[in-house]
Structure 1
Amino acid sequence: MHPALQGLLTIVIGVGSCIGYFWASNQFLDRVLFPARGPNAGRNINRANMIRPWLFLFPALFALTLYLAYPVFETLRLSLTDRDQGGAFIGLANYTQMMGESKFWEAMGNNMLWLIVVPALSTAFGLLAAQLTDRIGWGNIAKSLIFMPMAISFVGAAVIWKLVYDARPPDAEQIGVLNALYVWFTGNDPAQWLTIPFWNNFFLMIVLVWIQTGFAMVILSAALRGIPEETVEAAIVDGANPFQIFFKIKVPQIMPTIMVVWTTITLVVLKIFDIVFAMTNGQWGTQVLANYMFDKLFRANDWGVGSASAIVIMLLVTPILVWNVRQARKEMR
């Protein structure tokens, strides 16, 4: 079947099934389970109205249970078993083995480095872009260009930047932009940027910063526009310069939004996999937790340690996620 036809058929079946479910559930509720007729009509209507929201929520709750809740508990179970022993319970042995591996601590260290650098730079650049684009006539065009990387998948962005870092032999023409500039300005041989220990992590981080800056800019731009003009005008009357207005008037008022953006990008960083996998595959000291988990599960075929590393990622993500949700709810009040 042609892919376009297959996609269209999937949409028709999916949408049709949803409409059919809601129609059939309404009919069953109103005509069979609690018919709106007879002496108990009023009570039946009230009962139906109490059940109807849960009936409509059932598909979403079922999907969340099947694809989120069940995998969490199954992953926890697998992290406490040994495949070589037929799935026998071995307690925390997988966690002990994982913590004894240098690659795990390399991944932990790199994840912490990503957590320090990427959210800070993405939020800072996003805030700077939001402030500057609000002050120029072609700001909407600039915002569109800055936001455009968000439309690219992480793998697509990784391929683009891998070409930027590409290195050809010294006697060949360089197609990598960075090496072309490096050779032209310094006269040195092209560098293998992604194999330089420690610094190669920063070359990978640039990709995620490039993507997430657009997200931060859009959210923070909306927050800046929501600042009351009276506070800015009062600061101008008091003789404040543009830097004082920005850092002492605007930034404090949008600090909750800045923190929400920061933590949202932090969640992305903790789960980073695609960029590292596509560009270095965790080699040359660039291993991260998600890539370590992938290696254990699908290359080493070790479901115990792989599941244990997945639980570690979940434990790192959960408190930040809870805090982020609470902050977002406060913003909505």
Structure 2
Amino acid sequence: MIAKKSPNDIFLELKEATEFMFDIHLDSPIQINLGFLNLKWKVQSGKGPLLIKQLSKERYASSDYIVEQEIALREQLRQSKNGTLCPRVLRYEDNVIHKTSSGERFIVMEHVDGKNLLPGTLNVKQMYSLGQMTGHMHNVANDGTNKNDRNPKFIPPSVEQRLDYWKSFYKTIDENDMFVELLEIQIKATKHFSLELISSCVTGWAHRDLWVDNILFTGDQLSSILDFDRFAFDYPELDIARAIMSGAFNGSTFNSNSAKAFLDGYRTIRKLEKGVFARSLYALWYLESTWWINPNLSLDRYQVVQFQNEMTWLGKNLSELRAMYGAW
């Protein structure tokens, strides 16, 4: 049986490979604990501070994931070259994903200074700045370099399939379980949902993970958008809904001023029709509700609690979203 490597063992292996490939010396490693499964370290080098990120064999087990990761990293590099505030990815022999002698996959990129903010705490200036850069990122992503000859990543199930999914939980939960209340909110919302709300969305390339853990600020200004891992052809307005819910919803209250500031910033860079915001919220809820309304989720992490609260709020208000935000 092969002994499992410790994070320090993995770092030393990645350090050796990085120093050889880029002819630099690394020191002062600091492990970063944000993210899911992938190990990350900030290190100092002659090229300035860098981020080394191990690609988890558990998370990226299939070859399809590696191909998607390659596309995402090359897009991140292209975005940085075209003025998007995001870390520049370092290439070696035109590779953006590197491999150690034992097969550990990893990437190396610039480390960008900035601060992660808590969900629902972004002020008007921060949201305006984020909206502007999101619009710019969407313009670059959809400038014709990335081909659109494919289906969007999110293929929504029918309303009947989604109702069957929700109702299946009744077989496994106790009638007095606190989860029943959340479940009934989702069932009621699903019954009043129309897939035409998603079919009218415009397809395009999108970040698909634009929330506070992947956004850095310096004061009132955005300093970087991080983690293009989920970049794919989908619905760009999902980025709009995800960023606004993450930045303007604090668990129980939606900050309309911050939400409007994001849209105002976005519209200075990229065209956005009136009413798209409400539609984007419908699409986000239909995509993510099954991820975060689940009796088996651990609520130990604030991120999970935030996402579950968002889906609950959207479910409760689904029938009113167009009246609330249709003019935006």
What TM-score range do you get, normalising by the shorter chain? under 0.3
Q: Which protein is richer in helix relative to its size?
A: 1
Query: Under a length normalisation based on structure 1, what TM-score does the superposition of the two structures give?
Result: 0.20
Between 1 and 2, higher relative CO (CA 8 Å, sep ≥ 6) is seen in: 1
Determine which structure has more spread, i.e. the larger CA radius of gyration.
Answer: 1
